[in-house]
Amino acid sequence: MSKIYLDPGHGGTDPGAVGNGLQEKNVNLAIALKVRDILNRDYDGHSIRMSRTSDTSRTLAQRTNDANSWGADYFVSIHINAGGGTGYEDYIYNGSVSSNTVTYRDRLHAEIMRQVDFVNRGKKRANFHVLRETNMPAVLTENGFIDNASDAAKLKSDAYLTRIALGHANGIAQALGLRRKSNGGGPGTYTVQSGDTLWSIAQAHNMTVQQLKDLNGLTDDTIYPGQVLIVSGGTVYYTVVAGDTLWSIAQRYNTTVNALRSLNGLTSDVIHPGDRLRVR
């Protein structure tokens, strides 16, 4: 049983970075709660503890002490950046770290970049408290810049936050080798082997490459050995393009507007190009 510690940065009296009508603490928490829910929905073999599940104040020491006392296997601290840049980056400790720390971060980084279209600012190192004082592999993610209008527009989209969270959840699962749930004999899965391509996997399971990509929320053809892919049934996602409406997407996937709103937690029919919607 893998123990996952999710740390939504800041909270309570500490708003974190602010900009474009957003407070970092709120976005961090929204993403972390989605990560928790996706992991619990899609994977077995883990337990999750969070530094906070509401808008409460927690010191850095309280967060790391809690994770250390619990005996977490992976510490994931979720943040939003500021300072005039743009894009996604993540950090591990700039001192001595285990090989797992590097491997876990590499897998997490790859999965997040599959889901988002942020500029890739790369994999970095820093002397942050939550990376230095944790007794287990730890990573800190910076999911866009709150003071960049383009990044902030994405962070205001619940569907886009779901994309960020899905990347985190799948990356954590890949790092820790979690089992994808079969949902009582539902979607079958396939573990990618060396030499596999999306085309060869699709052919073997009597489906198209696009169907395989839709089932797994893939935005490109990159796969790697050990990756678990859904190869039948399961959840399907669609990335909104210019001119789409909820009605047109519902027609395309033989569903209803109300069903789309319910699946994605939408409170209106407003969608934007780049939003990633669950359609099934």
State pLDDT tens for residues 132-182. 999 999 999 999 999 999 999 999 998 789 889 989 999 999 999 988 775
Split at pLDDT 50, 70, 90, the class of 275 is confident
Query: Confidence band (pLDDT; 50, 70, 90) for 253?
Result: low
CA distances from 17 to 73, 135, 178 (A): 28, 27, 33
CA dihedral 56, 276, 86, 131 (to 10 degrees): 50
pTM comes to 0.69
Over the stretch 107-123, which tens digit does the pLDDT of each residue have?
999 999 988 999 999 99
List all residues 6 or more positions away from 200 whose beta carbon is below 8 Å from its beta carbon.
none
| Burial 249-258, CB ≥16 within 10 A → b, else e | bbeebeeebe
Number of other residues whose CB lies within 10 A of the CB of residue 82: 18
pLDDT for res 184: 33
Catalytic-residue membership of 133: no
φ, ψ (nearest 5 deg) of residue 9: -60, 150
Name the β-bridge partners of 277. 238
Q: Choosing from 24, 89, 111, 142, which is the catalytic residue?
A: 142
